[in-house]
Structure formats: C-alpha cells, structure tokens
Structure 1
Amino acid sequence: MNDTIHTASSAATLETRLARFALQSARAGEASVSYREAVGAVEDDKEALPNVLLHGIGSGAASWVQQFEALGGARRVLAWDAPGYGASTPVASASPVAADYARVLADWLDALQIARCALVGHSLGAIMAGAFAAAHPERVASLLLISPAGGYGAADAAVRAQKRDSRLAMLADLGAQGLAEQRSANMLSPHASDAARAWVRWNMARIVPHGYAQATHLLANADLAADLARCVGKVPMTVAVGAQDTITPPEACERLAQVARAPFHLVPQAGHAGYIEQPQAYSTLIESTLTRTVSTTELKA
C-alpha cells in the first residue's frame, strides 16, 4: 500500500512540474499537432538553434519534462505528440511509412517558423527523425538518436508481419492502461527510481490506440539504416543507448552508429527510456552534441 502511494506521488510530482509547459497546438498543413515547449531566457534569441524532441511508440511530448527543465533556459526546446498521439491528427494511411511522419514534421516546423533545428529522436522517434533528416538535411543541424528502433523494413515479409501482428494483438488485448501496467517496466533498468517508473507508466497509459496501431505499422515498414546511410556527410549524427537497454540493445544501436559513421555513446545504469531515468546524463548529451556541432560549423566557416 505504501509503495502504491509513493509511486502515485512520484507521478503527481512530475505532472505538477509538467504544468509549466502547457500543451499547445499548431496547424501542420491539413493536420493539427499538439506539442509542449520550453522557452526560458532565450525567447527572443533567434540565433540559438532549437532542440526538437521526438518520443517513442509508447510515450508522448510530456515524457521530456526533465529535458524542458534542464535545457529550456539555454535555448528553445520543443517536443511534439507524434501524429496519432495526444491531440495530434493521425496520418492518413492505415499502414504508414516514415516519410508520412516526416512530412508532418516538416509542416509543423514550418508553422512554428523553425528553419533549422537540432533533432533528437528516441526509439520510434528516431525513425521519424532519420526520415526527416534524409529528406531535409539542410534543416538538421545535428541528429541525436537515443535507443533508436531500426524498424523491420529490410526483413523478410513474414518477419515483418509477425512483429506487427503480435504488437497489434497485445494492444487489442490490453488497451493503453494494460500496456502501461504490463510493459512499462521493460523500458527501464533495474536502477530506475520509483519516480521514473511511475512517469513511464503515466505516459504509456495515455497513448491513443489508433495512433499506436499506426505506429506499429510504421515500425514494421521502416528501415532506419537506409535513411541514415543517405545522411552520411550531410548531417552530423550521434547514437546513444542505455547500457541495460533490452528493447534496442547496445549492439544493435552500435551497428546503426556504424552505418551513420557516428559517435556512439553507452550510458551507464540506463535502460530503453534512459532520458527519463538518467535525465542529467541525457540532457548533457543533447546539449553537448549540439554545442559540438555548432563549434565545428564555426571552425569550418
């Protein structure tokens, strides 16, 4: 009983902190995108490149609250609810590809008058980020992939169907709340705090089933490695993963880093949702990746 009360209190604390970053909405072409933003002291600083954060399949914009707090005072930080999540309009296709989400991302950034940004993608968000960077390399100052999901687009059709259908069946059986109760623990390492566990569960319980189903199709259709290969020499890339990530294991992420010819970071005592359980380490990585990119650009100039 006491553990339940403590866990609920932990989630409530993060939810209270989240209230500082109110949910907003913007038109993105024919769609609507809900998002959260931290502006801080740089609201009028047009020179500071914004950080744009893309969540994974079982999450949403709210999951980045600790990054809003840590990074929002230095530059603009935005996180969307991907199409089909939160109050964002789903993509049109029942079985979408990464380019469908990349188009919405481009329209959303246009609506917010963001010509160029530092792009961060976690898990399935890495697939969306990679597709956007491949299509619009001039708009991506740096690309940081956190525990990237590679997708199954290059796999045999039977494998793709099995991966897709098993996840869809789980969604049908459990619903959002059931997924949160049964699957959220897999997102974290054994070192995670009660607050981190509660926050992952809180975010996962708020997925929209239709959007999650579309994202499941995206995962089956996507081939992140192919998009990263298109970005080599055009976009500075970095790959990071928690040392105890069992969903996108370090060896799989390192292979993607090799394809991208990108630095590879192994974060100790972190699982798949490492930016939630080790927020300081990941916030430092996000900022240092962009700072390094900006410094390199200035030296070349």
Structure 2
Amino acid sequence: MPILSAVDRRLLESDLPPLRHARLSSGSTLEYRDTGPGADAVLLLHGIGSSSAGYRAQLAGLSAQWRLLAWNAPGFGASTPLAFPKPDVHAYAAALAELLDALSLDRVHLVASSWGTLIAQAFAGRYPARTRAMVLSVPTRGYAHLPPDERARRMAERLAPEARAQTPEERAPRLLGPAPDPLVVRRFGELQAAVHPAGLAQATHMLFDCDALALAGAVHVPTLILAGGEDRVAPPGEHAERLRGALDGATLETFAGCGHLLKLEAPDRFNRSVHGFLRHH
C-alpha cells in the first residue's frame, strides 16, 4: 500500500458531517450526509461492507468544489430496508431516485465503490437524464454469471456467521494492499457499525443476482473507472478491465499498490482523480 502523505492523514482524521434523514414518497427513510456549498451535486454510494462514513476523506477533501451527498443504502445504518427479502439492483436504483426527489435534485454525478457501482450503473441506465457522469471505484461485476452451484456456495460463505464475525484485522489482508497503515485499518474497522444482518442479506442477494456487463449496454454517460492494482476482492483483469470494454467510452486508471479500498488507501489521489474527471462534465 502507498505510504500515507500528510494530506492523506488529515483527510482520514477529519470529522464527518452529521447524519440527516430523508422521508421518501414510499414512506421509507434514507439516512445521508450532506456537505459543501456547490451547485453541482455528487452522490457517493458505498460498498457492501461499508456506509456513508467510508467517504470521510472525500466529504472533507472535495466539499469546497462540490455539494456532496453520501447515503446509507437501504438496510444500512438507520435507512429502512427494502420491502422484499431478495431485491434486485433496480430496487436500489429506484430508492436512489426517490432520495433525489426528496432532496429536489434533478441531475447528479455518481461516485460509487464496489457493490455500489452496480447501483450506479443501474441508475444511469434507467435514469440517463438524471446522470451527468460516473466514477466507478473498484467495480465488481457481480456474480449472476457464475454457475448456480458455485453462486449458491459463495453466497452461503458470505452470509455465514463466522464470516460476519471476523475482526477488521482479520479481514484487512484481503481488502487492503500490502502493509496497510494502522490508520487505514482503523477507519476500515469503524465501517462495520452501520452493517446490519438484514440489510447485508438483501445486499448480498442483489450482488449474486447481478451482472455489471449486462447493465453496461444501457449506460451512455461519461465514466471513469478506478482500480486497485493489488485488489484481491475484484481483481482488475476480471472486473474493472472487462467493464471498461463493456461501457461506452469508459476510461480506466489503476492505483498501483492499492487493494479494494482506494478511497481509504490513497484518499488524496482518489480525490484528485474524481475532481479532475467530474469538472469536465
């Protein structure tokens, strides 16, 4: 993992904006953070084992240029779970559209990580007029393309109690690049507080029922893909590079030495890449 700079440390040690709550037209509640005076809004979509707090460094480092909104997806934090036990990706995209309606936002940029990149693609495909551009960080393809037996086995492993009981220190070697900084491991460990069994089960069913390559054909917005060169969760050759080939006009940037949590492992570079791309769209 790259050595953290002084700027990286300042970003990772910054305070989080307070949580707010939006009442949706469906009657559900979505929890989110909102900061920055900018007229242009950027929605930050977290991964499956994370929350809005995972974007701490972006909420601190990009709020001078943009209005930043980081949601807790349905079933995470205090956000109401979706109404059915096995939702598909389009149900999450519809919830995101409801959040934009509740906040009177017409068009937004999307910045998404891992599992959240599936929601971003589904949203951009279904609501193209509302999507200005996307940044997809460490995208996962999903697992719908796997044989049914393998898919069932992998999903059972994900949801097993012993998998959920692992400590951050036990999970870090798979998720982070080599020799992670203790501050990054600590911030990663704090994200588990917003992950609840019911929401995790719904999100896992969505992940295993989705294929990003099938979503890509409907997406026609400017897209930047960010990949970790040492990502063992979603190796770039199997995920990011294939997605770049499937998405219309997408570009790919690889962070050498980083794993699956780019926004924590190299936050300043991550922010510069996001800002440099979005300001042109």
Q: 1:165 aligns with which of 152, 156, 171?
A: 156
Cα gap change, 1:248/1:174 in structure 2, threshold over 3 Å: closer, same or farther? closer
Q: Deviations over 1:2-26 (max 9, x none)?
A: xxxxxxxxxxx9897334x001110
Q: 2:177 aligns with which of 189, 211, 215?
A: 189
Determine whether 1:218 maps to 2:206: yes
C-alpha distance in structure 1 between counterparts of 2:109 and 2:179, whole Å: 29
Greater fraction helix: 1
**Displacement, 1:156?**
2.2
Q: Larger relative CO (CA 8 A, sep 6+): 1 or 2? A: 2
Unaligned runs of 5+ in 1: 1-12, 294-301
C-alpha distance in structure 1 between counterparts of 2:167 and 2:83, whole Å: 25
1:238-253 counterparts in 2 under 5 A?
Answer: 238-252=224-238, 253=240
What is the SS of the residue equivalent to 2:30? strand
For residue 83 of structure 2, what is the aligned residue in structure 1?
92
Larger gyration radius, structure 1 or structure 2: 1
For residue 257 of structure 1, what is the aligned residue in structure 2?
244
C-alpha distance in structure 2 between counterparts of 1:263 and 1:174, whole Å: 34
Q: Which residue type is aligned with residue 242 of structure 2?
A: R
For the 8 Å contact 2:231–2:258, the answer to whether it is kept is yes
Cα gap change, 1:265/1:129 in structure 2, threshold over 3 Å: closer, same or farther? same
What is the SS of the residue equivalent to 1:241? strand
**Displacement, 1:98?**
0.1
C-alpha distance in structure 1 between counterparts of 2:46 and 2:81, whole Å: 15
For residue 299 of structure 1, what is the aligned residue in structure 2?
none
Determine whether 1:57 maps to 2:54: no
Determine whether 1:34 maps to 2:20: no
For residue 144 of structure 1, what is the aligned residue in structure 2?
135
Cα gap change, 1:163/1:266 in structure 2, threshold over 3 Å: closer, same or farther? same
For residue 18 of structure 1, what is the aligned residue in structure 2?
15
For the 8 Å contact 1:185–1:197, the answer to whether it is kept is no
**Displacement, 1:225?**
1.2
What is the SS of the residue equivalent to 2:217? helix
Q: Deviations over 1:211-248 (max 9, x none)?
A: 111111111101111111211xx311121111111111
What is the SS of the residue equivalent to 1:74? coil
Q: Percent identity?
A: 33
For residue 168 of structure 2, what is the aligned residue in structure 1?
180
**Displacement, 1:157?**
1.9
For residue 103 of structure 1, what is the aligned residue in structure 2?
94
C-alpha distance in structure 1 between counterparts of 2:13 and 2:183, whole Å: 13
What is the SS of the residue equivalent to 2:178? coil
For residue 7 of structure 2, what is the aligned residue in structure 1?
none
Q: Deviations over 1:87-137 (max 9, x none)?
A: 000011211110010010000011111111110110000011111111001
For the 8 Å contact 1:191–1:269, the answer to whether it is kept is no
What is the SS of the residue equivalent to 1:183? helix
Q: 1:126 aligns with which of 99, 110, 117?
A: 117
Task: Give the aligned CA root-mean-square deviation in angstroms.
Answer: 1.8
What is the SS of the residue equivalent to 1:94? coil
What is the SS of the residue equivalent to 2:106? coil
What is the SS of the residue equivalent to 2:218? helix
For residue 296 of structure 1, what is the aligned residue in structure 2?
none
For the 8 Å contact 1:270–1:277, the answer to whether it is kept is yes
For residue 223 of structure 2, what is the aligned residue in structure 1?
237
For residue 7 of structure 1, what is the aligned residue in structure 2?
none
Q: Which moved more, 1:87-96 or 1:189-198?
A: 189-198
For the 8 Å contact 2:157–2:163, the answer to whether it is kept is no
Q: Which residue type is aligned with residue 66 of structure 1?
A: A
Q: 1:156 aligns with which of 140, 147, 161?
A: 147
Q: Which moved more, 1:188-197 or 1:177-186?
A: 177-186
C-alpha distance in structure 2 between counterparts of 1:274 and 1:151, whole Å: 19
TM-score computed with the length of structure 2 as normaliser = 0.90
For residue 8 of structure 1, what is the aligned residue in structure 2?
none
**Displacement, 1:180?**
3.4
